[in-house]
Copies of this chain bind each other. A is one copy, B any other.
Amino acid sequence: MALDSGEKKSFHMDPDEFRERGHQVVDWIADYYKRIESFPVLSQAQPGEIRSSLPAQAPQQGEPFETILGDFEKLILPGVTHWQSPNFFAYFPSNASGPSILGDVLSSGLGVQGMLWATSPACTELETLVLDWLVPALGLPEKFLSTKTGGGVIQDTASSAILCALLAARECATNFQSNQVGVPGRLCAYGSMQAHSATEKAMGIAGFGRDNLRLIPTDANFAMDADALVRALENDRNAGLTPFFVCATVGTTSSNAIDPVPKIGPICQKFGAWLHVDSAMSGTAALCPEFRYIHDGIEHADSYCFNPHKWMFTNFDCDCFYVADRAALIRTMSILPEYLRNQATESGAVIDYRDWQIPLGRRFRSLKLWFVLRHYGIEGLQFHVREHVRLAQQFAAWVREDDRFELAAPATLNLICFRLKNGDQANQRLMDALNRSGNLYLTHTRLNDRMALRLCVGQTNTTERNVRNAWRRIQEEAGKLK
């Protein structure tokens, strides 16, 4: 085949074919949501099963789109756990919604890079604006606004947000020397024994060593014991160490416990430690005035994060990370090689979000969040948060009424920890039977060294029917245990 120019041959999908295939894909998703309850929530695939159904080598020649989409349906879908099923109650939700998906589609289509303001001004300015919108909406302090000393940025996950907070705190504690000369001596960080493992992971990454993370005991409600925190800080200070970072959790992963931030804040101030508040799932509840108490004390925080990709109908990834002092974060993360220099950066009039995160590149993630906020309005988001909390509390009431079961932790918001009273083995068997049935999916934790099942209401389309069915199935399977 004689070709003298790239203009004459192309393997690309042209816009008209994209239109046709795009409609097919959108239809597939619409139909998927209609039939989603027909799939087992937890994939029943065995290790290696999906891979072994696929060719061992990449195709040499291109294949028709129908074939690819057909294989997706036939070979991939059986290996999918349906996080968007309304019968998904495991872990924390990672929910999505129509407006979010469509905002994300536009982001994929535009394919812009937001590493610098100059590389796509709207990508930066919409993100800054939308994160500012959420400050009053969640009752956060004004210092987190970009129009004050702070500002917000979208990170992929709360793990990355915690790492960024830890790094900024490290720099502040070392007069901005640790980036240059390494981590000096022993700096100590603190979180509760129920805090997410992300802090432990970040302590390793950032060069402190996990040994320098103190896991503070919790009270009867699995919340950090503020007196124990003071003792730990004093011990370390007396030993010549430098307490520099405290991570308080508003809604722990394990049981939704809420650390006493109003007490922890002044303690951090006294010891000169950076306070980060991790409200990854529960932060969304603060949209409703009646749940806003979860943010009591937040005025003491140096940084804060919550994840719209958990419970605010915005598909992954979307963690909103706020700092009170953006200059500290930027000074921590900034490096400016020649090939990224530009007039806007040098004018100082713009935000370059590459200096607010670990990676350099970044996609236009604020579009999906903007679509969600505009589609639902604050009112629509409040409605669904209230409904999820109401359903979780209804579930807790059913647990209390059944003598075989007990609650394993306070039922704070939308996560219920419960158990059969007759031991870990029975609970393990109950959970395995339920998950194997495919009717629902829930996961476990350990509280006071006993297994507890976790039922978290947060998937976008979960309604009373789904929670009622879940409880009926739990009762049924419990009845079958010998």
Interface status of A480 (Cβ within 8 A of chain B): no
Most buried by B among A11, A129, A157, A209: A11
Known: A378-B59, A445-B339. A101 touches B109 (CB 8 A): yes
Q: How far is the CB of A84 from chain B (nearest CB, A)?
A: 5
In the A-B complex, the 3 residue pairs with the closest CB atoms: A207-B207, A79-B122, A13-B98
Interface secondary structure of A, over-half rule:
helix
In contact, B204 and A205 (Cβ under 8 angstroms): no
In contact, B205 and A206 (Cβ under 8 angstroms): yes
Interface status of A469 (Cβ within 8 A of chain B): no
Residue-wise, chain A 161-187 has the 8 Å CB interface mask toward B (1 for contact) of 001000100000000001111110010
Interface status of A482 (Cβ within 8 A of chain B): no
Q: How far is the CB of A458 from chain B (nearest CB, A)?
A: 12
In contact, B361 and A126 (Cβ under 8 angstroms): no
Report A306-364 residues with CB < 8 Å from chain B CB.
309, 313, 315-317, 332-333, 335-341, 344, 347, 349-350, 358-361, 363
Q: How many residues of A contact B (CB 8 A)?
A: 172
27 contacts between A and B (CB under 8 A): A6-B384, A6-B391, A6-B463, A12-B98, A14-B98, A22-B30, A22-B105, A28-B109, A43-B121, A47-B344, A48-B349, A51-B125, A57-B133, A62-B379, A63-B375, A67-B374, A72-B367, A83-B111, A108-B108, A108-B315, A111-B316, A159-B361, A182-B208, A182-B209, A201-B358, A206-B206, A358-B358
In contact, A157 and B59 (Cβ under 8 angstroms): no
Most buried by B among A82, A121, A167, A349: A121
Interface status of A27 (Cβ within 8 A of chain B): yes
Q: Identify which of A88-96, A219-227, A262-270, A405-413 touches chain B.
A: A88-96
Interface status of A58 (Cβ within 8 A of chain B): yes
Which residue from chain B places its CB closest to the CB of A63 in the assembled complex? B374
Chain B residues near A57 (CB, 8 Å)? 133, 136
Interface status of A40 (Cβ within 8 A of chain B): no
Interface status of A240 (Cβ within 8 A of chain B): no
Report A43-100 residues with CB < 8 Å from chain B CB.
43, 45, 47-51, 54, 56-63, 65, 67-68, 72, 76-84, 91, 94-100
CB-contact partner of A182 in B159, B207, B317, B363, under 8 A: B207
Q: How far is the CB of A270 from chain B (nearest CB, A)?
A: 25
Complex CA–CA separation, A391 to B7 (angstroms) = 11
Residue-wise, chain A 1-41 has the 8 Å CB interface mask toward B (1 for contact) of 00001110111111111110111011111111110000000
In contact, B376 and A18 (Cβ under 8 angstroms): no
Q: How far is the CB of A352 from chain B (nearest CB, A)?
A: 11
Q: How far is the CB of A224 from chain B (nearest CB, A)?
A: 16
Interface status of A383 (Cβ within 8 A of chain B): yes
In contact, A373 and B91 (Cβ under 8 angstroms): no
Q: Identify which of A112-120, A230-238, A242-250 touches chain B.
A: A112-120
Known: A26-B22, A29-B22, A360-B198. A315 touches B209 (CB 8 A): no
Interface status of A292 (Cβ within 8 A of chain B): no
In contact, A13 and B182 (Cβ under 8 angstroms): no
In contact, A205 and B205 (Cβ under 8 angstroms): yes
Interface status of A259 (Cβ within 8 A of chain B): no
In contact, B58 and A134 (Cβ under 8 angstroms): yes
In contact, A22 and B358 (Cβ under 8 angstroms): no
Not counting A11-B375, A15-B30, A159-B359, a sample of 10 additional A-B residue pairs whose C-beta atoms are within 8 angstroms of each other reads: A7-B465, A23-B23, A26-B105, A62-B376, A65-B99, A68-B374, A156-B359, A156-B361, A179-B209, A338-B446
Residue-wise, chain A 194-216 has the 8 Å CB interface mask toward B (1 for contact) of 00111011001111111110000
In contact, A80 and B133 (Cβ under 8 angstroms): no
Chain B residues near A108 (CB, 8 Å)? 96, 100-101, 104-105, 108, 315
Q: How far is the CB of A63 from chain B (nearest CB, A)?
A: 5
Complex CA–CA separation, A13 to B26 (angstroms) = 14
Interface status of A443 (Cβ within 8 A of chain B): yes
